[in-house]
């Protein structure tokens, strides 16, 4: 299938302000590109791009005072298949893990493993190691955290999510990642586009989504504790230890966001959009 994706972020700046953006689709989906999701600004400003320590494509710019618009718009080809599953995928002993996965066992800004380790072992020690254990973690998080967009909090940690019992997709993801790391399963945070293609209507307003990847049986696998279901057209933008590593935008000065739109929809045929 062809998937039309993009976003539009509208700001008001009181003074010229440096800004970093991670809004382009991850390089791992480059071969699926039909129309590039170039980052466009209005007014136009010079853009400098680089890859961060996690391989994400980042863009640096100086936003002028006044209204400033960031947008992307692209078309990607997707198989239309649901997220893959591997029920028999095994969990590695820590001493056998590849070196590059070890950072995803450690605590991070939003994944406070030091506070949740004891709780994690009490809840999940008797689960079967591997895929079944990760699924048990996702089942628990999905059942015990209530999605509430109006209670989004940019500073909420995993332990605070567990205590509050509510949050948005990033909170579901942080809690599940933290439990996985406590159980010696490498887990990393992902953000990107998640379509509602094939989902019952009405569909919620467009937004970026968060999910996680866990390392089992020598590869990374997608798990989605917020939806706790396989989905189509999940298109990665960035990966990191947690949301602190992959902000959509990072501004270095006062500003106000005045508009925010995200779209992920199926594109019909081959005609221009």
Q: What SS3 string covers the chain?
A: CEEEEEEEEEEEECCCEEEEECCCCCHHHHHHEEECCCCEEECCCCCEEEECCCCCEEEEEEECCEEEEEEEEEEEECCCCCCCCCCCCCCCCHHHCCHHHHHHHCCCCCCCHHHHHHHHHHHHCCCCCCHHHHHHHHHHHHHHCEECHHHCCCCCCHHHHHHHCEECHHHHHHHHHHHHHHCCCCEEEEEEEECCCCCCCCCCCCCCEEEEEEEECCEEEEECCCCCCCCCCEEEEEEECCHHHCCCEEECCCEEEEEEEEEEEEECCCCCC
Domains of the chain: 2-78+248-267 (2.60.40.2250), 94-244 (3.10.620.30)
Task: Give the rounded percent of residues in the chain with a pLDDT score beyond 70.
Answer: 98
Rounded mean pLDDT, 252-263: 96
Predicted pLDDT of residue 142: 98
Predicted pLDDT of residue 150: 85
Residue 183 has pLDDT above 70, yes or no: yes
Predicted pLDDT of residue 273: 40
**69 vs 260: CA distance, rounded Å:** 10
pLDDT band at 203 (very low <50, low <70, confident <90, very high): confident
**189 vs 177: CA distance, rounded Å:** 7
Residue 271 has pLDDT above 80, yes or no: no
pLDDT in tens, 66-100: 999 999 999 999 998 999 999 999 999 999 999 99
Predicted pLDDT of residue 125: 97
Q: Which residues of 139-158 are buried (b: 16+ CB within 10 A; e: fewer)?
A: ebbbeebeeeeeeeeeebbb
Q: Which residues pair with 17 in a beta bridge?
A: 63
Predicted pLDDT of residue 272: 41
Predicted pLDDT of residue 98: 98
Residue 269 has pLDDT above 70, yes or no: no
- For residue 159, what are its two tokens? 């332990």
pLDDT in tens, 25-66: 999 988 898 999 999 999 999 999 999 999 999 999 999 999
Cis check for the bond before 43: say yes or no (omega within 30 of 0).
Answer: yes
pLDDT in tens, 146-165: 999 888 899 999 999 999 99
Q: Mean pLDDT over all residues of the chain?
A: 95
**91 vs 183: CA distance, rounded Å:** 10
- For residue 103, what are its two tokens? 């950072």
pTM (predicted TM-score): 0.95
pLDDT band at 268 (very low <50, low <70, confident <90, very high): confident
Residue 5 has pLDDT above 70, yes or no: yes
């Amino acid at each position: 299938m062809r998937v039309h994706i993009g976003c539009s972020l509208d700001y008001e700046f009181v003074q010229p302000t440096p800004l970093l953006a991670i809004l382009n689709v991850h390089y791992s989906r480059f071969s699926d590109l039909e129309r590039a999701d170039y980052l466009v600004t209005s007014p136009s400003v010079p853009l400098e791009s680089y890859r961060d320590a996690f391989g994400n494509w980042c863009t640096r710019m100086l936003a002028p005072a006044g209204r400033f618009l960031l947008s992307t718009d692209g078309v990607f080809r997707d198989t239309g298949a649901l997220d893959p599953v591997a029920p028999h995928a095994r969990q590695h002993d820590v001493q056998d893990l590849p070196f590059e996965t070890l950072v995803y066992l450690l605590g991070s800004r939003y994944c406070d493993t030091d506070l949740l380790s004891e709780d994690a072992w009490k809840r999940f020690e008797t689960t079967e190691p591997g895929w079944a254990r990760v699924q048990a973690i996702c089942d628990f998080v999905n059942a015990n955290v209530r999605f509430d967009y109006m209670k989004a909090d940019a500073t909420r940690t995993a332990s605070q999510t567990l205590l509050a019992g509510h949050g948005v997709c990033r909170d579901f993801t942080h809690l599940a990642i933290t439990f996985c790391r406590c159980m010696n399963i490498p887990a990393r945070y992902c953000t990107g586009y998640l379509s509602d293609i094939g989902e019952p209507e009405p569909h919620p307003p467009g937004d970026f989504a968060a999910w996680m990847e866990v390392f089992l049986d020598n590869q990374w696998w997608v798990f989605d504790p917020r939806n706790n279901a396989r989905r189509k057209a999940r298109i990665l933008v960035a990966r990191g230890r947690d949301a602190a590593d992959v902000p959509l935008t990072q501004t270095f000065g006062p500003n106000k966001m005045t508009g925010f739109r995200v779209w992920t929809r199926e594109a019909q045929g081959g005609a221009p959009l």
